[in-house]
């Protein structure tokens, strides 16, 4: 059933629901912490035999053992001994796109590199060409289909970037689709303007001229329609220089849009220190990261977001997650779901990769994929842990499975039920 129909059918009733008979509820918080950093990330506070009371989609009480008196709730939902966890918050996706790029994958398997394919008009420019030709309706439908798959895999909130438009009209189109996805799915979605994702071929390599268009035309149009919460730039050799990236994030800052930036994917352009100094909300990718840079992040409030699906798929280094956590960073995991470098939206798989490849503990990986993801979208007042006052966005694992199983059975979907604002979605 399409999420839209589901959402309309499941109107949130003004009644109190009791969710009980769990083996445990994990990542229960009581202090309203916006994130966990460094050593705090290994605490997930399991509450054995936990129960939750939910009213109008929000948790109003959490307890354990004996369930509350029957006059405290209108309806009881028996979770049949399952383990309960908060849903994932996927803070970095490019979910709205017109077509997959399996053909480029085949070219890579035949020996071409990601950079060679991009230089020959593939990559982001290929996606932009296809997106220009797609209607808003078609884009919405395909993204909605992908969003349903993400929800089934436990994602209960996410970020969606533009960046496959590269013209004012097409960038606006993507962000409008993302806005409609939130309205029709009921899933919290934050939108990021990534006009500076690549330079369109029509600019003949004149990146400065394109940056001017991004700053003087696209950004004001995006702001005018209230379409973006954040700004992003692909700060990388062959894409946007550090100075160009800074010019864009400074222009966006004047409109009140914080920065979430693609940095250090293939090369370090010195962006880490510069972006931290400008108070970037998050720095994403960070596959190429010196100890000096990672310590700089660890001492800051900027969130370090690793995208292990991209490392796996492009066969590039993994972000040094262990070192970042040991350096006290606010470390976050996201999928980077996109048709070129990371065609998987499976957050549990990102946890597996973080554990096996970056040497995280399963508790750290869960915090990175939930509370710290929420922090990377400024949503931790509402999401990321199971806590009084937050949305009841939670998932259950099939009986017999533990938090460790979630990372251990890599590539499986052990998630059996997903609840958004207290309503069962799958
Ligand atoms: O996050 N690095 C830049 N952008 C995307 C990939 C874009 C694409 O290949 O379509 C990323 O990996
Ligand atoms: Fe990305």
Cα 24 from Cα 48, distance rounded (Å): 4
**Confidence grade of residue 399 (pLDDT, cut at 50, 70, 90):** confident
Helices 362-369 & 347-358 angle (0-180, nearest 10): 140
List ligand 1's pocket residues with C-beta within 6 A.
123-124, 127, 234, 262, 265, 310, 336, 338-342
In a shared domain, residues 163 and 186: yes
Domains contained in the chain, number: 2
In a shared domain, residues 20 and 134: no
pLDDT tens-place string over residues 373-397 = 999 999 999 999 999 999 999 999 9
Beta bridge partners of 193: 231
In a shared domain, residues 256 and 302: yes
Report how far ligand 2's centroid is from the alpha carbon of 338 (Å): 7
Higher pLDDT, 253 or 30: 253
The best mutation among 245, 264, 336, 345 to test binding of ligand 1, ranked by most ligand atoms within 8 Å of the C-beta, falls on 336
In a shared domain, residues 264 and 342: yes
Helices (H), 42-122: 102-109, 114-119
In a shared domain, residues 43 and 96: no
Q: Is pLDDT above 80 for 4? A: no
Q: Compute, in degrees rounded to 10, the torsion defined by CA atoms 198, 201, 204, 210.
A: -40
State the residue for tokens 């009084």. 388
Q: What's the CATH code of the domain at 219? A: 3.20.20.140
**Residue after which a domain boundary falls, among 375, 393, 412:** 375
pLDDT of residue 190: 98
pLDDT of residue 317: 98
Q: What's the CATH code of the domain at 402? A: 2.30.40.10
Cα 426 from Cα 421, distance rounded (Å): 13
Report how far ligand 1's centroid is from the alpha carbon of 153 (Å): 22
The best mutation among 124, 159, 266 to test binding of ligand 1, ranked by most ligand atoms within 8 Å of the C-beta, falls on 124
In a shared domain, residues 175 and 217: yes
Q: Is pLDDT above 50 for 343? A: yes
Report how far ligand 1's centroid is from the alpha carbon of 341 (Å): 5
Residue 81: which of 423, 424, 416 has the closest Cα? 416
In a shared domain, residues 110 and 203: yes
- Per cent of the chain over pLDDT 70 is 97
In a shared domain, residues 230 and 369: yes
pLDDT of residue 8: 47
State the residue for tokens 């994917």. 265
pLDDT tens-place string over residues 250-305 = 999 999 999 999 999 999 999 999 999 999 999 999 999 999 999 999 999 999 99
pLDDT of residue 14: 81
Query: In angstroms, what CA-CA distances link 248 with 188, 232, 251?
Result: 26, 8, 5
**Residue after which a domain boundary falls, among 375, 394, 413:** 375
pLDDT of residue 13: 58
Cα 367 from Cα 385, distance rounded (Å): 8
Per-residue tokens: 166: 């590269």
pLDDT of residue 183: 96
Q: Is pLDDT above 90 for 109? A: yes
In a shared domain, residues 281 and 415: no
In a shared domain, residues 247 and 290: yes
In a shared domain, residues 39 and 172: no
Residue 280: which of 252, 307, 319 has the closest Cα? 252
**Confidence grade of residue 10 (pLDDT, cut at 50, 70, 90):** low
With residues binned 3-state (H G I as helix, E B as strand, rest as coil), the percentages for the chain, rounded to 5, are 40, 25, 40
Instruction: Decide: 331 and 306 in contact? Cβ < 8 Å.
Output: yes
Residue 233: which of 216, 217, 215 has the closest Cα? 215
Instruction: Decide: 59 and 386 in contact? Cβ < 8 Å.
Output: yes
Q: Is pLDDT above 70 for 1? A: no
Q: Is pLDDT above 50 for 189? A: yes
Q: Is pLDDT above 90 for 9? A: no
H-run or E-run covering 66: none
Domain extent, residue 290, equals 89-375
State the residue for tokens 């097409």. 170
Reported pTM: 0.96
In a shared domain, residues 226 and 321: yes
């Amino acid at each position: 059933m399409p999420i839209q129909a589901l959402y309309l059918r499941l109107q949130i009733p003004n009644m109190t629901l009791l969710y009980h008979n769990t083996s445990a509820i994990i990542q229960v918080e009581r202090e309203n912490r916006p994130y966990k950093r460094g050593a705090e990330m290994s605490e997930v506070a399991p509450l054995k035999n936990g129960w939750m009371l939910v009213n109008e989609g929000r948790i109003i009480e959490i307890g354990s053992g004996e369930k509350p008196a029957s006059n405290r709730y209108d309806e009881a939902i028996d979770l049949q001994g399952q383990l309960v966890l908060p849903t994932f918050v996927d803070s970095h996706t490019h979910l709205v796109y017109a077509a997959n790029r399996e053909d480029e994958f085949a070219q890579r398997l035949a020996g071409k590199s990601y950079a060679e394919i991009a230089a020959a008009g593939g990559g982001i420019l290929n996606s932009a060409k296809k997106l220009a030709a797609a209607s808003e309706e078609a884009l919405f439908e395909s993204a909605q289909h992908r969003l349903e798959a993400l929800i089934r895999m436990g994602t209960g909130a996410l970020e969606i970037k533009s960046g496959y438009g590269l013209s004012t009209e097409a960038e606006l189109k993507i962000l409008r689709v993302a806005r409609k996805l939130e309205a029709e799915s009921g899933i919290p979605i934050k939108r990021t303007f990534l006009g500076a994702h690549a330079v369109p071929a029509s600019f003949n390599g004149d990146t400065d001229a394109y940056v001017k268009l991004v700053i003087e035309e696209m950004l004001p149009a995006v702001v005018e329609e209230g379409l973006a919460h954040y700004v992003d730039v692909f700060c990388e050799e062959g894409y946007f220089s550090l100075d160009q990236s800074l010019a864009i994030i400074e222009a966006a800052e004047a409109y009140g849009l914080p920065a979430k930036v693609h940095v250090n994917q293939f090369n370090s352009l010195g962006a880490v220190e510069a972006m931290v100094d400008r108070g970037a909300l998050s720095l994403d990718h960070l596959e190429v990261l010196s100890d000096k840079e990672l310590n700089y992040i660890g001492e800051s409030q900027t969130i370090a977001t690793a995208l292990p699906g991209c490392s796996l798929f492009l066969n590039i280094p993994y972000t040094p997650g262990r070192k970042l956590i040991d350096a006290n960073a606010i470390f976050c995991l996201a999928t980077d779901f996109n048709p070129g470098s990371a065609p998987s939206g499976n957050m549990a798989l990102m946890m597996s990769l973080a554990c096996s490849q970056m040497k995280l503990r399963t508790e750290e990986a869960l915090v990175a994929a939930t509370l710290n993801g929420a922090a990377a979208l400024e949503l931790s007042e509402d999401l990321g842990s199971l806590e009084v006052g937050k949305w009841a966005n939670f998932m259950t694992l099939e009986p017999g499975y533990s938090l460790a199983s979630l990372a251990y059975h890599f590539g499986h979907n052990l998630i059996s039920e997903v609840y958004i604002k207290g309503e069962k979605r799958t």
